[in-house]
Amino acid sequence: MSNALPDFDLLRPQSVEEAVAALQTSPSARLCAGGTDLIVNMRHGLVELETLVDLGAVVAMKRLEADAAGLHIGAGVTLRDLAESEAVSESYTAIRQAALAVAGPGHRAVATVGGNLCLETRCLYYNQSHWWRKANDFCLKYRGETCHVAPTGNRCRAAFCGDLAPALMVFGAKIEIAGPNGIRRIALPDLYREDGADHLTLAACEIITAIHIAPSKAKSGYAKVRIRGAIDFPLAGVAIACERGSPSARSFRIAVTGTNSCPLLLDGPAPLADGDDPDAYFGALNKLVQKAVSPQRTTTTGAHYRRLAVAALAARLAKELVDG
């Protein structure tokens, strides 16, 4: 019988070092973690590879631990295990809610944190079958000459739609990256750039191995809008961590997804102080989020709606964190 996918070599490294070496065996080698994003894209003919490096046997990347230094999340931890972790449920509500908002339970049983952070960007003109895209002369992101979303521009605007990244960002997450030149650590926002065709700053043959988060007393939450109530990517999503200052001032860290080619950790807003009028404050917060995002026509749902929706979600969530 014929197989649905073109042929490739499958490598199963047992350690991070072996995985980095496996990636170096072929210029088109790609990592496969849970495969719930990659295999779908392979089936659409969007990924050409000769070597697939499966991370499933790299036990060292599956560690999930909380201690005095905070939370260590191996990049190979599944979203299901992340959501079920007691440490996460106790102190990092936004992370739990974001993990549970990804796809369906069958996906989450294998989908990993690393795969979610490195999720391919998405677009109405990209996540289609080969014949569909071919009939449309392809597009900038893959084989084509123009972008159908912004035809006068020279950059792909496909949207990053991972749910977890904003929830990790509001806790100041740092990621650990292993590569041919050793190990480096960066702040999570530095993993991304605003370019739908090349949104990750990882160098060739680099692997995210773990995520570190400092201990936190912040109250937090994650909310998303999507077309269906389940198995659906965010049209827009927002995570907020709210910290109590003195005596009752509240400061907010806000990060969004689904609106740009990368998740964004926003600047501001100024803390909500004691005498502030809450309605005016949350109104201003709404405006601040609207200004910070730039959704494009990459979904069937209008860009303007997504701008308004993410801002409304943010204002509502911030208010809930103060009131609740």
Ligand X SMILES: Cc1cc2nc3c(=O)[nH]c(=O)nc-3n(C[C@H](O)[C@H](O)[C@H](O)COP(=O)(O)OP(=O)(O)OC[C@H]3O[C@@H](n4cnc5c(N)ncnc54)[C@H](O)[C@@H]3O)c2cc1C
Interface with ligand SF4 in residues 89-128 (CB under 6 A): 123, 125-126
**Nearer to ligand SF4 (CB atom), residue 143 or residue 287:** 143
- The only residue of 80, 96, 141, 219 in contact with ligand SF4, by rule CB under 6 A: 141
User: What's the min distance (Å) between Cβ of 183 and ligand SF4?
Assistant: 32
Which of these ranges, 19-27, 31-39, 145-153, 297-305, lies near other proteins under the rule CB under 8 A?
31-39
Binding status of residue 253 toward ligand SF4 by CB under 6 A: no
- The only residue of 71, 83, 156, 207 in contact with ligand X, by rule CB under 6 A: 207
User: What's the min distance (Å) between Cβ of 306 and ligand SF4?
Assistant: 14
Binding status of residue 109 toward other proteins by CB under 8 A: yes
Which of these ranges, 123-131, 146-154, 228-236, 313-321, lies near ligand X under the rule CB under 6 A?
228-236
User: Encoding tokens for residue 191?
Assistant: 């993993």
CA 29 to chain centre: 22
307 φ, ψ to 5°? -65, -50
Binding status of residue 299 toward ligand X by CB under 6 A: no
Between CA 152 and CA 271 the distance in angstroms is: 40
**Cα maximum dimension of the chain:** 72
Binding status of residue 46 toward ligand SF4 by CB under 6 A: no
Between CA 207 and CA 147 the distance in angstroms is: 30
Any idea of the CA torsion for 114, 180, 214, 72, to the nearest 10 degrees?
50
- The only residue of 149, 218, 262, 264 in contact with ligand SF4, by rule CB under 6 A: 149
Interface with other proteins in residues 215-254 (CB under 8 A): 230-231
The DSSP secondary structure of 98-147, one letter per residue, reads HHHTSS-HHHHTT-BHHHHHTPPPB-TTTSS-HHHHHHTT-BTTBB-SS-
Between CA 39 and CA 258 the distance in angstroms is: 21
The DSSP secondary structure of 223-255, one letter per residue, reads EEE-SSSSS---SEEEEEEEEE-SSS-EEEEEE
Q: Among positive and negative, which fits the CA dihedral 75, 76, 78, 83?
A: negative
**Nearer to other proteins (CB atom), residue 63 or residue 107:** 107
Give the residues lining the site for ligand X (CB under 6 A): 30-38, 40, 55, 75, 79, 102-103, 107, 111-112, 114-116, 118-120, 161-163, 207-208, 231-233
Give the residues lining the site for other proteins (CB under 8 A): 1, 3-10, 35-36, 39-40, 43-44, 52, 54, 56, 103-107, 109-110, 230-231
